[in-house]
Amino acid sequence: MRLTPDEQAMADGRDGPAVARAMDLLIRYGEALDAERLVDTRNVTGTFGATSVQMVDFAEKNGGMDAVFSEFNLDSRELVKPPKAKVYTTHLQLTMDPQNAERMNISEEMIRFYPKSAAYAAGLGVQLGHTCTPYQIGNVPVFGEHCAWMESSAVIYCNSVLGGRTNAEGRESAGAASITGKIPYWGYHLDENRLGTHLVTLDVDVETTSDWGLLGYFIGEHVQEHVPVVRARGGRFSQVPNLARLKHFGAAAASSGGVEMYHLVGVTPEAKTEEQAFGGNRIIETLRYGEAERRHTWEQLNSTASDSHVDYVMLGCPHYTLEQIWEACQLLEGRKVHENTEMWIFTPRAIKALADQNGYTKIIEDAGAHLMSDSCSAMSRGVPKGTKVVALDSAKHAHYLPAIANVQAWYGTTADCINAACTGRWEGRFA
Contact set with ligand F3S (CB under 6 A): 93, 132, 153, 251, 317-319, 346, 376, 378-379, 396-397
Phi/psi at 263 (5° precision): -130, 135
Evaluate whether 372 touches 99 at the Cβ level (below 8 Å). Answer: yes
If the CB atoms of residues 132 and 409 are measured against ligand F3S, the closer one turns out to be 132
User: Minimum Å distance from CB 75 to ligand F3S?
Assistant: 23
User: Minimum Å distance from CB 208 to ligand F3S?
Assistant: 19
Evaluate whether 55 touches 72 at the Cβ level (below 8 Å). Answer: yes
If the CB atoms of residues 182 and 396 are measured against ligand F3S, the closer one turns out to be 396
Q: Which residues, other chains included, contact 156 with Cβ-Cβ below 8 Å and sequence gap of 6+?
A: 250, 251, 253, 254, 259, 260, 261, 262
- Report the phi/psi class of residue 381: left, alpha or beta, with left for phi > 0 and alpha for psi in -120 to 50: left
Evaluate whether 373 touches 349 at the Cβ level (below 8 Å). Answer: yes
User: Minimum Å distance from CB 376 to ligand F3S?
Assistant: 3
Nearest 5°: the CA angle 114, 117, 123 is 140
If the CB atoms of residues 264 and 379 are measured against ligand F3S, the closer one turns out to be 379
Burial 380-399 (b: 16+ CB within 10 A, else e): bebbbeebebbbbbbbbbbb
User: Minimum Å distance from CB 155 to ligand F3S?
Assistant: 11
| Alpha-helical regions (H) of 257-304 | 274-278, 291-301
If the CB atoms of residues 174 and 378 are measured against ligand F3S, the closer one turns out to be 378
User: Minimum Å distance from CB 175 to ligand F3S?
Assistant: 19
Please return the burial class of 194, using the count of CB atoms within 10 Å of its CB with bins 0-12, 13-18 and 19+.
Answer: buried
If the CB atoms of residues 43 and 153 are measured against ligand F3S, the closer one turns out to be 153
User: Minimum Å distance from CB 192 to ligand F3S?
Assistant: 29
The beta-strand segments (E) located in 77-222 are 88-91, 148-149, 182-184, 198-202
Say how far apart CA 104 and CA 310 lie, in whole Å: 18
Say how far apart CA 382 and CA 364 lie, in whole Å: 20
Q: What share of the chain is helix, strand, coil (3-state, %, to 5)?
A: 45, 15, 40
User: Minimum Å distance from CB 255 to ligand F3S?
Assistant: 9
If the CB atoms of residues 196 and 250 are measured against ligand F3S, the closer one turns out to be 250
If the CB atoms of residues 89 and 153 are measured against ligand F3S, the closer one turns out to be 153
User: Minimum Å distance from CB 387 to ligand F3S?
Assistant: 16
If the CB atoms of residues 343 and 379 are measured against ligand F3S, the closer one turns out to be 379
Evaluate whether 2 touches 36 at the Cβ level (below 8 Å). Answer: yes
